[in-house]
Amino acid sequence: MLLVTGGAGFIGSHVVEAAVARGERVRVLDALRPEVHGGARPALPDGVELVRGSVTDASEVRAALDGVSAVCHQAAKVGLGVDFADAPDYAETNVTGTAVLLAAMTAAGVDRLVLASSMVVYGEGRYRDGDRIVLPPPRAVGDLERGVFDPLGADGRPLEPVLVGEEETLDPRNVYADTKLAQEHLASSWTRATGGHAAMLRYHNVFGPRMPRDTPYAGVASIFRSALERGEAPRVFEDGGQRRDFVHVRDVARANLAALDGLAALPSGAARAYNVGSGTPRTVLEFATALADAFGGPAPVVTGEYRLGDVRHITASSARIAEELGWRATEPFDDAVREFATAPLRAAAPRD
């Protein structure tokens, strides 16, 4: 049996559907947090057992692991958050929750893990400065205030972003990113200590049906779609030139199954990281424009606003997962955006 933590959530529910479609027996462990689910009971495929519980509760996790042979760990608090006051919740859910899960897996003899990580562990990514590849420091507030959004080279010109491979230095630059890297470190420590096997999937900007709407913790795609649904123009921060890789959630679900299958090929005690992206970088403004056109709503507004902790460009190479696990994104971007423009989103989270 496969346990999917967070399996009632946006990405997790698609992992569950993909696993059931290929004949897996699946159990879901999900806390059903109101800011994610809005109080609605999730609809899961027939035969899927739903256990309402938190990955931070050792007794609930132990019960959910009964009869399980592998875990897809999707449960996490996501997004940049509202402010630093969110830090304890991020650390409790993402870091402590992962530690509790891994300890319970050890006790239960479960030795296969697929971990939902994120491209945010790379921080600002990598850039070309002449004939050198460099890792720029965090962007200065003064530059951002003046509308200078791109990291600059020694000559004062914008650096050229390049694709990042899994072996590059990791450089998280906000609390969420810190916790995702901590999850990876915990998974690696667990494999070394127990001889287990772990695949760590560094998701790019995932979008698709069932994203939560009207919440500051959702991804930018959901924020844009929520604005359009309210009849408002999507608000694009900075100058809209931020480069990202928008990958469809069904492709991400297939990547989880490919990683699950690939665990058997890993040596005992190995943890392997894989970037999971479409392979085609796009700017945030390009995505917002495509979505607004597909929705038939107002064109995006470029605001010049910024958020501390955001990075300018981060796009990574997904060559490793293609070569080692045979996975490639297959959902056509234009079709996926048209689907997303009208697909149901999760119920709005209650507001204070």
Q: Name which of 244, 236, 242, 229 is nearest 280 in CA terms.
A: 244
**Residue 72 structure tokens:** 């897809």
The amino acid occupying position 55 is: V
User: Residue 157: CA atoms inside 13 Å, Cβ hemisphere, count?
Assistant: 7
CB distance 178 to 117 below 8 Å: no
CA distance 112 to 99: 15
What 8-state DSSP symbol labels residue 268? Answer: T
Q: At what angle do helices 220-229 and 333-342 cross, to 10 degrees?
A: 50
Q: What are phi and psi of 102, to 5 degrees?
A: -65, -35
CB distance 110 to 69 below 8 Å: yes
DSSP 61-77: HHHHTTT-SEEEE----
274 in active site: no
CA distance 65 to 316: 33
**Residue 159 structure tokens:** 């650096």
Phi-psi domain of 171 (left: phi exceeds 0; alpha: psi -120 through 50; beta: other): beta
Instruction: Report the SS3 class of residue 161.
Output: strand
Give the active site residue among 127, 176, 274, 306: 176
CA distance 262 to 255: 10
CA distance 187 to 74: 13
Instruction: Report the SS3 class of residue 98.
Output: helix
CB distance 114 to 197 below 8 Å: no
- Rg of the chain's alpha carbons, rounded to an integer? 20
Name the residues annotated as catalytic. 176
